[in-house]
Amino acid sequence: MSPTAHTTHIPDTQSERDERHLAIQQVGVKRVRFPLTLKLGAQLQGSVGEWSLDVALPAEKKGTHMSRFVAWLEAGAEQALDAAALRERHLQMLQLLGAQAGRIEVAFTLFIKKRAPVSGIESRLDHQARWVVETDASGHTSTWQEVTVPVKSLCPCSKEISDYGAHNQRSLVTIRAELLQPLPFAEQVRFAEESASSELWPLLKRADEKWVTERAYENPRFVEDLVREVALRLNADARIGRYRVEVENFESIHAHSAFAVIER
């Protein structure tokens, strides 16, 4: 028998019927590292995505075709993605897997170029980001965009009780927003930066450092202040539906962190 003839008789076990009558809400692959080209407005930026891909499996079906997830990644390897393009690719994945419901999540690093406040020197600040696109059993598809933004926060209580100075720390603001309309990452980052005591820059000259120090001192923020200020900005933006904002302060006078969360 020729190799070709032999392969035509390989059984498709995944497509067999299952008699245990238990549906599976999510089945797929996770922690798949694969190249990713980000479409950030008119700019393209290379990165590496860590992907999780899954579909819902009906009770009567024995298994899903796991190889098709990786085949789907390979088929779109050259495509630059923004949230809208990923949504379209997500629907293609469901069709490829013959599924009614499913989910894509991809985490990656993106870089945003910033200009220092006084010297104007440019540098790139890295941000951890992710997209999540999911279709539920009713056929509704939602798209989520998340970014974690490092900022600076200065303690109002420390400023009030001290004769001079105030303790401050670096904070991480994580904003996960449901997109009703396109939202550039750079604008999502600004929700956090404009709410903080001060934003951060990778590269600063002495005049910039003075500006950042004094800026933070004039804008003290508790962790509660910071999360509320971000939420107010999200509430006012019609492009955003549901959201979750978490702020973590890496306290400079404690060995623990302080955190706060607001969800809508």
pTM of the model: 0.90
What structural domains does the chain harbor?
A: 25-263 (3.10.270.10)
Predicted local distance difference test score (pLDDT) of residue 64: 85
Q: What is the pLDDT of residues 60-77, one digit of tens each?
A: 888 888 999 999 999 999
Q: What is the pLDDT of residues 201-244, one digit of tens each?
A: 999 999 999 999 999 999 999 999 999 999 999 999 999 999 99
DSSP state of 145: E
Task: Say which range, 10-14, 126-130, 251-255, has the weakest mean pLDDT.
Answer: 10-14
Contact 129/218 with Cβ under 8 angstroms? no
CA distances from 138 to 78, 135, 254 (A): 31, 8, 48
Task: Give the residue, 165 or 32, on which the prediction is more confident.
Answer: 32
Report the distance separating Cα 170 and Cα 157, nearest Å: 17
Q: Which long-range contacts (CB under 8 A, 24 or more apart) does 105-108 make?
A: 105/51, 105/52, 105/130, 105/131, 105/132, 106/36, 106/49, 106/50, 106/51, 106/52, 106/130, 106/131, 107/49, 107/50, 108/36, 108/38, 108/47, 108/48, 108/49, 108/50
* Band of pLDDT at residue 11, cut at 50, 70 and 90: low
Report the distance separating Cα 120 and Cα 143, nearest Å: 36
Whether 15 has a pLDDT exceeding 70, the answer reads no
